Amino acid sequence: MKKIVPAIMVALAIVSAMFCQPAVAVENKRDQGIKLYNAKNFKDAGRLLDEHLTVYPQDIYALYYDALACQGLGNMGKAKIYYRQVATLAPNHQLGGYAKSVLRQIDPSFVAAASTSSSAFGGSPGPSNNMTIAPAGVPTLDNSIPMEWDVNCAPDEHGVVWVDAAINGRNVKMVFDTGAPGVVIGKNQMAEIGLEPPKGPSTGETGGSSSTEKVKCWVFPMNVKVGQVERKVLVQVLETNQSEPLLGQTYAGLFECTVDPGAKRIHFKQRGYSKGATRNAYEVPYVFVPAGNRIIVNIEVNGKTGPAIFDSGNTSSGIKFLNLDQAKKFGLSIPADADNVMSVGITGSSSNKSFPVRRVRLGPIDRTDLLVTVGAIPDEEGYPLLGQPFWQGYEYTINRQKKVIEFVRR
């Protein structure tokens, strides 16, 4: 693990002093996590801060201290993710400055790309995220944008939900993808819309759910606009994107979203703004994993239950098991008469086995003879992808305040 320079250590001491607050009757998990970090109990600090971030994923104080706890444990991959989020969400805040200082040492390519994003990538400084976090972690409303607004979408015959967006002022059609951790575009697609691609060394490599291939990628802040609301978010640029640009959680996760394919609209709402419960909605709880921006639900397959990623970008099958081990956890094996099908993703294509499963359930949705696919993609998380064909006929709202997905039959 790389050491932080003395100047940063002084800054961290100042931050610790800044956020000492009077005792309250019940401390929130963020404050408890910060206390545990200061006591050098990095493991429990990270656990509490992770739990806090499942409800308040943009709390820059929790993100920053979670990054410190990860670094204390030597988990530099996760620490980089959190530092990047702080630097992007609060570039002009003191914590944003501290995060950038650490990133200059442990992730210099990210800082270099971010520092040139407003010029080398054809954009202007643009808006930052104006949503702030109150001391207890409750998001406040941003009066510079509407409380709620609608965006037209265009579902195609395969269930793919297309939206018109703009990246650094350049129009681009994107797939609305709840399973994508971030906004994703390829150098090839940037060239098509007139944006200069990134230069210099890549930030790292990435893979997809449809291929074992790895491609170089660059991660840096860019201005992303959907409808009337523009935000500066982390964008992942691939050397070559063999699929479509994805509108993932680094933008969509800023808001509560209701996707209604029948009405061809996505309804966005600021988190913290509520006009009451959604009528006739069935609520399904989910767990948000902040490190990968994953929405995890518990599904039942032939009577066996287990976790799956809620992935609107998976339109090819009701469930995509990335490998046979994932399928076996639900008691499934590949039948001899399974069909061979091709799956195409951002990094390439692969062959999969396709066959029907007798019964799959989640909340009010109960499907029989649902087509699933099994691939051969290694996956450390071990989560299959629950896809759009499973909830076809329903509109859904990802309610991030209550941590539920609200389904309404259409």
Is 73 part of a structural domain of the chain?
A: yes
Query: In a structure prediction context, what are the per-residue pLDDT tens digits for the chain, which is 410 residues long?
Result: 444 433 333 333 333 333 333 333 235 888 899 999 989 999 999 999 988 887 777 788 888 999 999 999 999 888 888 888 888 877 878 888 888 888 888 888 777 666 655 444 444 455 655 544 444 445 567 888 899 999 999 988 878 899 999 999 999 999 999 888 889 999 999 999 999 888 877 777 776 655 567 788 888 788 999 999 998 888 889 988 888 999 998 899 888 889 998 889 999 988 777 666 556 789 999 988 876 778 999 999 999 999 999 998 888 899 999 999 999 999 999 999 999 987 776 666 778 999 999 999 999 999 999 999 999 887 655 789 999 999 988 999 988 878 899 999 87
Asked if residue 356 and residue 247 are part of one domain, the reply reads no
Res 15: pLDDT: 35
> Cα(63)–Cα(371) distance, rounded to whole angstroms?
39
Last residue of a domain, one of 270, 305, 332: 270
Asked if residue 290 and residue 347 are part of one domain, the reply reads yes
Is 142 part of a structural domain of the chain?
A: no
Is 117 part of a structural domain of the chain?
A: no
> Cα(103)–Cα(157) distance, rounded to whole angstroms?
44
Asked if residue 286 and residue 384 are part of one domain, the reply reads yes
Asked if residue 242 and residue 221 are part of one domain, the reply reads yes
In terms of Cα–Cα distance, which of 69, 398, 47 is closest to 257? Answer: 398
Residues 6 or more apart whose Cβ sits within 8 Å of residue 260: 266, 267, 395, 410
Tokens standing for 224?
Answer: 């992303």
* Cβ–Cβ < 8 Å for 367, 329: no
Q: What is the pTM of this model?
A: 0.67
Is 116 part of a structural domain of the chain?
A: no
Residues spanned by the domain of 30: 6-106
Asked if residue 360 and residue 244 are part of one domain, the reply reads no
Q: What is the CATH number of the domain that holds 367?
A: 2.40.70.10
Asked if residue 363 and residue 405 are part of one domain, the reply reads yes
Radius of gyration of the chain (CA): 21
Asked if residue 293 and residue 218 are part of one domain, the reply reads no
* Cβ–Cβ < 8 Å for 57, 290: yes
Asked if residue 287 and residue 240 are part of one domain, the reply reads no
What total of structural domains would you count in the chain? 3
Tell me the three state secondary structure of residue 252.
helix
Res 139: pLDDT: 57
Is 138 part of a structural domain of the chain?
A: no
Give, rounded to a whole angstrom, the gap between the first and last alpha carbons of the chain.
52
Asked if residue 376 and residue 405 are part of one domain, the reply reads yes
Alpha-carbon dihedral 67, 51, 182, 76, rounded to 10 degrees = 30
Is 237 part of a structural domain of the chain?
A: yes
Asked if residue 259 and residue 153 are part of one domain, the reply reads yes
Q: What is the CATH number of the domain that holds 81?
A: 1.25.40.10
Is 111 part of a structural domain of the chain?
A: no
Last residue of a domain, one of 270, 290, 310: 270
Asked if residue 289 and residue 399 are part of one domain, the reply reads yes
In terms of Cα–Cα distance, which of 312, 320, 370 is closest to 350? Answer: 320
* Cβ–Cβ < 8 Å for 233, 254: yes
Backbone torsion region of residue 371, taken as left when φ is above 0, otherwise alpha when ψ lies between -120 and 50, otherwise beta:
beta
Res 283: pLDDT: 92
Last residue of a domain, one of 106, 135, 169: 106
Asked if residue 391 and residue 320 are part of one domain, the reply reads yes
Amino acid at 147: M
> Cα(117)–Cα(195) distance, rounded to whole angstroms?
11
In terms of Cα–Cα distance, which of 261, 84, 114, 113 is closest to 182? Answer: 84
Residues 6 or more apart whose Cβ sits within 8 Å of residue 368: 358, 359
Tokens standing for 78?
Answer: 């996760």
Is 139 part of a structural domain of the chain?
A: no
Res 130: pLDDT: 52
